[in-house]
């Protein structure tokens, strides 16, 4: 057992006392996680044991094989990852829900019922989540026999009868917002119950951007899958592509050159900075402080132009590929990047001081949309949403992949959990990323930017784990014959952050919903897949 898993025997003992036996298979194909098999009858109990032990639920997904379903649940504890696996038949699959222990699992289990036909007992919510009205209740579009082109009606009938939760009483009103919004944001429906302007409850209805990403992955080669992964959520193209490549490289046993790993980290930190710059301006704009929107938008635009000039794409799409990267910066480019980092730090210092010392702005941000630490932990929130509520989790520091294991990583954490702190965390993370960029440029090793690719054998699996700009990104890949992908499952941080929005708006006024929403900034596309 690795020294990193010194807690594992204690957890296994807790599980045995709760009547759950975990068996370690001979083969460990899913590093860095430890894989343990669980009897199906203990699926719910092992989750309850993990919750009491203090573990965090990260994801659950299914894999269809000729023998049946493999259902896998990823848990995290102090930077270590445990992958639990159980089997179910292709027909009549039923497992006990893990949602009573981990509320974040509920929507994922609802999606698995929709897409695979796997049922979960003991949960309270059996409403459709992803499919809406695109297919009948008997169609499960991630099953192997289901055609990639679909078989539903065109156009899809409107989803008019979704049973939103109801609140009744004197003065209670219901406010529907979306799924089509003003402006250019993605579609999502928000149903409020309010008294006057005060929000009693918010319920989200997502899934309108379901594009069939996991189905589209089937049968692709490694390069094609990396391109698809980079389009799971367009603002997180580097992180999703890197996580997918990590999974494929581990399945294939491909060693990525050191230089390529450092350049991947450079791209990931540039992606983080660009998004945080845009979000800081947008948060301020949602309460009428247009000055910040224009200034931070200016900085983001200049940053993206440098991406385009040096790396060939403003958003860095298709720069991360299996075995490495497609960029090869020369010394002039490295000098430009170093100079740009120093320039941005100076600009940021001035603008953040203005933001923090404008009373009319801070009056709208401080105390708005509070997510306390206990709720953040209960929901398993990630990234800046969690760190603004005092939850430090960051893979770059706690479970670092190369090259972060050779870099000094600062993790900014604030405690209040309001919109103001979610904005402060973003500003602090920009400075932390600038520090990382300078370290990367100063330590950038010589050597190739890409290794050769060797297709893995059928049945080979890999797991990718990476700290994207929104938080932890998960990717699972299983290969079929001829080096083609049999199953790709990505998990965006937004899956765990969207439920936090429902909690943090309660008790706030309706006009503050836009700024609360932007302070979380969940990806619709990354959630809907």
Q: Which two tokens stand for residue 386?
A: 């969690």
> Which pLDDT belongs to residue 68?
94
Q: Which two tokens stand for residue 474?
A: 């998960």
Contacts of 153 (CB under 8 A, 6+ apart): none
Q: Dump pLDDT digits (tens) for 250-269.
A: 999 999 999 999 999 999 99
Q: How far apart are CA 29 and CA 394, in angstroms?
A: 24
For the chain, which domains are there? 3-121 (3.30.460.80), 172-205 (no CATH), 213-528 (1.10.645.10)
> Which pLDDT belongs to residue 169?
85
Q: Are 498 and 522 in contact (CB under 8 A)?
A: yes
- SS3 state of residue 143: coil
Q: How far apart are CA 475 and CA 217, in angstroms?
A: 12
- SS3 state of residue 405: helix
Q: How far apart are CA 108 and CA 104, in angstroms?
A: 8
Q: Are 143 and 116 in contact (CB under 8 A)?
A: yes
Q: How far apart are CA 66 and CA 84, in angstroms?
A: 20
Q: Which two tokens stand for residue 470?
A: 């929104």
To 10 degrees, what angle do helices 419-443 and 331-356 make? 160
- SS3 state of residue 281: helix
Contacts of 452 (CB under 8 A, 6+ apart): 254, 323
Task: Pick out the chain residues at pLDDT < 50.
Answer: 1-2
> Which pLDDT belongs to residue 28?
65
> Which pLDDT belongs to residue 1?
39
């Amino acid at each position: 057992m690795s020294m990193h898993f010194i807690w594992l025997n204690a957890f296994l003992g807790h599980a045995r006392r709760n009547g759950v036996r975990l068996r370690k298979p001979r083969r460990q194909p899913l590093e860095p996680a430890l894989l343990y098999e669980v009897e199906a009858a203990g699926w719910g109990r092992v989750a309850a044991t993990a919750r009491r032990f203090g573990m965090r639920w990260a994801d659950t997904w299914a894999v269809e094989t000729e023998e049946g379903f493999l259902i896998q649940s990823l848990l995290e504890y102090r930077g270590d990852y445990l992958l639990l696996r159980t089997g179910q038949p292709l027909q009549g699959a039923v497992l006990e829900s893990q949602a009573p222990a981990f509320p974040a699992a509920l929507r994922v289990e609802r999606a698995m019922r929709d897409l695979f036909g796997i049922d979960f007992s003991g949960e309270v919510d059996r409403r459709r989540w992803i499919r809406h009205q695109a297919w009948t209740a008997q169609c499960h579009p991630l099953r192997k026999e289901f055609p990639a082109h679909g078989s539903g009606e065109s156009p899809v009938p409107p989803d008019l009868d979704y049973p939103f939760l109801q609140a009744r009483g004197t003065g209670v009103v219901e406010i529907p917002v979306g799924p089509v919004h003003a402006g250019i944001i993605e579609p999502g429906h928000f149903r409020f119950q309010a008294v006057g302007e005060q929000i009693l409850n918010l319920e989200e209805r997502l899934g309108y951007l379901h594009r069939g990403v996991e189905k589209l992955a089937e049968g692709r080669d490694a390069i094609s899958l990396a391109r698809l992964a980079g389009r799971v959520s367009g603002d997180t193209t580097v992180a999703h592509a890197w996580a997918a490549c990590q999974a494929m490289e581990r399945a294939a046993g491909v060693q990525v050159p050191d230089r390529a790993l450092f350049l991947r980290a450079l791209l990931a930190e540039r992606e983080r900075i660009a998004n945080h710059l845009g979000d800081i301006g947008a948060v301020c704009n949602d309460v009428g402080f247009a000055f910040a929107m224009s200034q931070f938008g200016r900085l983001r635009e200049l940053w993206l132009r440098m991406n385009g000039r040096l790396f060939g794409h403003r958003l860095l799409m298709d720069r991360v590929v299996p075995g490495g990267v497609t960029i090869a910066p020369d010394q002039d480019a490295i000098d430009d990047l170093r100079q740009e980092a120093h320039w941005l730090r100076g600009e940021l210092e001035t603008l953040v001081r203005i933001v923090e010392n404008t009373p009319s702005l801070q009056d709208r941000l401080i105390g708005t949309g509070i997510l306390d630490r206990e709720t953040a932990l209960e929901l398993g929130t990630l990234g800046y949403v969690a760190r603004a509520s005092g939850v430090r989790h960051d893979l770059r520091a706690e479970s670092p992949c190369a090259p972060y294991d050779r870099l000094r990583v600062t993790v900014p954490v604030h405690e209040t959990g309001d919109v103001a702190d979610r904005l402060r965390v973003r500003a602090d993370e920009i400075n932390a990323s600038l520090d990382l960029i300078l370290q990367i440029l100063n330590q950038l090793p010589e050597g190739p930017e890409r290794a050769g690719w060797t297709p893995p054998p059928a049945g080979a699996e890999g797991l990718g784990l990476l700290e994207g700009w929104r938080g932890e990104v998960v990717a699972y890949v299983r290969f079929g014959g001829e080096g083609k992908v049999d199953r790709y499952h990505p998990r965006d941080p937004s899956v765990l952050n969207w439920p936090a929005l429902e909690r943090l708006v309660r008790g706030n006024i309706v006009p503050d919903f836009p700024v609360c929403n932007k302070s979380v900034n969940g990806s619709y596309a990354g959630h809907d897949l």
